């Protein structure tokens, strides 16, 4: 038996088995580990479920899958750029301007 974890892409794709220990970037991007398609079978009478991983199966990359992955990566890059811009603002703004902005937010009327 090898250690691994289940990975569900945020694009609504199929659940995959990822070899190794889970990590932040592996979970965010689904990279850094060998993946395989995950299938399962369920007993109709008792409901018992078994999962199977075909480690020899080659993942099928369709044009739609590539487009979905590209869209997911674009969204991730956009989110990361926004976070970096926020961190740059925090790091470069003088403390009094940041304190003023916080006080303005506190005194703003609730909607």
pLDDT at 70: 92
d(CA 95, CA 105): 15
End-to-end alpha carbon distance in the chain: 56
DSSP secondary structure string for all residues of 15-26? -EEEES---HHH
The phi and psi torsions of 85 (rounded to 5 degrees) equal: -60, -40
Task: Give mean pLDDT, residues 3-31.
Answer: 64
pLDDT, one tens digit per residue, over 39-88 is 778 888 898 888 777 666 666 567 777 888 899 999 999 999 998 888 88
46: how many CB neighbours lie within 10 A of its CB? 7
Binning pLDDT at 50, 70 and 90, where does residue 36 land? low
22: how many CB neighbours lie within 10 A of its CB? 13
Binning pLDDT at 50, 70 and 90, where does residue 30 land? low
d(CA 45, CA 33): 36
Give domain limits for the chain.
Answer: 1-58, 61-111
Query: What is this structure's pTM?
Result: 0.36
Task: Give mean pLDDT, residues 86-96.
Answer: 81
């Amino acid at each position: 038996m090898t250690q691994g974890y289940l990975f569900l892409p945020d694009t609504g794709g199929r659940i995959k088995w990822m070899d190794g220990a889970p990590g932040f970037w592996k979970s965010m991007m689904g990279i850094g580990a060998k993946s395989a398609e995950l299938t399962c079978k369920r007993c109709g009478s008792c409901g018992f479920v078994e999962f199977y991983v075909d480690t020899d199966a080659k993942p099928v990359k369709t044009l739609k899958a590539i487009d979905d992955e590209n869209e997911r990566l674009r969204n991730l890059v956009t989110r990361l750029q926004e976070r970096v811009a926020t961190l740059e603002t925090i790091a470069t703004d003088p403390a009094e301007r940041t304190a003023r902005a916080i006080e303005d937010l506190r005194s703003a009327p609730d909607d």
